Amino acid sequence: MTAPMEALHVTGVNVTYPSLQHGGSVVALKDVNLQINSGDFVVALGASGCGKTTLLNLLAGFLSPTQGELLLGNKPIVGPGSDRGVVFQKHALLPWLNVMENTEFGLKLQGVPKNQRRATAAKNLELVGLQDFHQHMIYQLSGGMQQRVGIARALTCNPAMLLMDEPMAALDALTRETIQELLLDVWRHTNKMFFFITHSVEEALFLGSRLVVMSPRPGRITHTYELDFNKRFLESRDARAIKSSKDFIAMREIILSIIYGDERAAEQSEPIHV
Ligand SMILES: Nc1ncnc2c1ncn2[C@@H]1O[C@H](COP(=O)(O)OP(=O)(O)OP(=O)(O)O)[C@@H](O)[C@H]1O
């Protein structure tokens, strides 16, 4: 069974939260518009508080917009669903279950027969290089291996879209690079929509086929860039050569100057309240 080839449309989305500090409301997202097609790897980057997690929570269906619309295919997003898999930063696996049981968990909840769900989970564990670790308990795995289980688990219900909120943030630099490369292989293999949040400009440039830069107060998308460093990696397999290339470094400096500018501006301003 392949995931349906459908696009995600975010149109005119605003989110305001009640502000505990100031009594009024905080505008977390303002007039956000975004389209993601099958095979797009969209990375969101921006200064702290620019609304990245709020946007991911909307896509996951954990949160509803104050205004605007989110459509996956023809269906409005009104809550979490098996058409979207989420990979969290950490602590999302069930420690009392082994690797296979964690990976097949979503299919078990759906009532899929054991043989069938084990076959699907095994395929996804192979995709992330954990074919020899089915029986391991989560505490027996390194942080990088745990994130591989997280990715396999998020893929197991064959979602149209994979949502990732800083999934590499807790990993050491070397493991992080290995998982970045693995993620690009998974992306090429599955051709799903990927939405990925990071604080690392280098990671964003390396992974994304589209980079959306967000700016805080109020949170909005201010810049969009189409990128091909990921495709260049998939052709050459030489991540170091790509990350040290002139155009990669030039793009990194452009993005850093935007984000540093936003951070300085945010330090000097109060959140926008309504
Ligand atoms: N539940 C909430 N209640 C009130 N305000 C919130 C809530 N969640 C987020 N905010 C505010 O909304 C804004 C956007 O927050 P969000 O977590 O989406 O940003 P972010 O870009 O993911 O930040 P970071 O990079 O620091 O994780 C911030 O000003 C934050 O303080």
Distance CA(154)–CA(102), nearest Å, equals 10
Q: What is the pLDDT of residue 53?
A: 96
Residue 2, pLDDT above cutoff 80: no
Structure confidence by residue, pLDDT tens digits, 158-215: 999 999 999 988 899 999 999 999 999 999 999 999 999 999 999 999 999 999 999 9
Same domain for 255 and 268?
yes
Closest ligand 1 atom to Cα of 271? 29
Arithmetic mean of pLDDT, 25-31: 94
Radius of gyration of the chain (CA): 19
Arithmetic mean of pLDDT, 107-135: 96
Task: Confirm or reject: Cβ of 28 under 6 Å from ligand 1.
Answer: yes
Residue 102, pLDDT above cutoff 70: yes
Q: What is the pLDDT of residue 170?
A: 86
Same domain for 188 and 257?
yes
CATH code, 39: 3.40.50.300
Closest CA relative to residue 200, chosen from 234, 236, 164: 164
Task: Confirm or reject: Cβ of 57 under 6 Å from ligand 1.
Answer: no
Total domains in the chain come to: 2
* For the chain, percent of residues with pLDDT exceeding 70: 95
Structure confidence by residue, pLDDT tens digits, 218-227: 999 999 999 9
Q: Which domain holds residue 134?
A: 84-158
* Position 97 in a domain: yes
Distance CA(45)–CA(208), nearest Å, equals 10
Contact 205, 255 (CB under 8 A): yes
Pick the residue whose CA is nearest to atom 1 on ligand 1: 17
Same domain for 190 and 266?
yes
Give Cα separations from 212 to 40, 81, 201, 260 (angstroms). Answer: 12, 24, 11, 16
Arithmetic mean of pLDDT, 249-260: 95
* Position 210 in a domain: yes
* For the chain, percent of residues with pLDDT exceeding 90: 83
Same domain for 9 and 144?
no
Residue 1, pLDDT above cutoff 50: no
Distance CA(39)–CA(187), nearest Å, equals 7
Q: Which of 98, 126, 158 is the last residue of a domain?
A: 158
Same domain for 272 and 185?
yes
Same domain for 192 and 60?
yes
β-pairing, 75-76 with 41-46? unpaired
Closest CA relative to residue 159, chosen from 80, 71, 74, 84: 84
Task: Confirm or reject: Cβ of 159 under 6 Å from ligand 1.
Answer: no
Arithmetic mean of pLDDT, 65-78: 96
Pick the residue whose CA is nearest to atom 16 on ligand 1: 51
Arithmetic mean of pLDDT, 120-140: 96
Q: Give the pair of three-digit tokens for residue 7.
A: 């696009």
Which band of pLDDT confidence, cut at 50, 70 and 90, is reported for residue 5? low
* Position 167 in a domain: no
* Ligand 1 centroid from CA 24, angstroms: 15
Question: DSSP 3-state assignment of 167?
Answer: coil
* More confidently predicted of 27 and 20: 27
* Ligand 1 centroid from CA 54, angstroms: 6
| Residue 4 DSSP one-character state | P
Q: What is the pLDDT of residue 274?
A: 44
Q: Which of 103, 125, 158 is the last residue of a domain?
A: 158
pTM over 0.90: yes
Task: Confirm or reject: Cβ of 219 under 6 Å from ligand 1.
Answer: yes
Residue 268, pLDDT above cutoff 90: no
Contact 190, 197 (CB under 8 A): no
Arithmetic mean of pLDDT, 55-66: 97
Compute CA 73 distance to the chain's CA centroid, rounded to the nearest angstrom: 19
Same domain for 101 and 218?
no
Same domain for 23 and 68?
yes
CB contact set of 38 (below 8 Å; sequence gap of 6+) = 3, 5, 6, 7, 160, 191, 192, 193
* φ, ψ for residue 230, nearest 5 deg: -65, -40
Same domain for 60 and 192?
yes
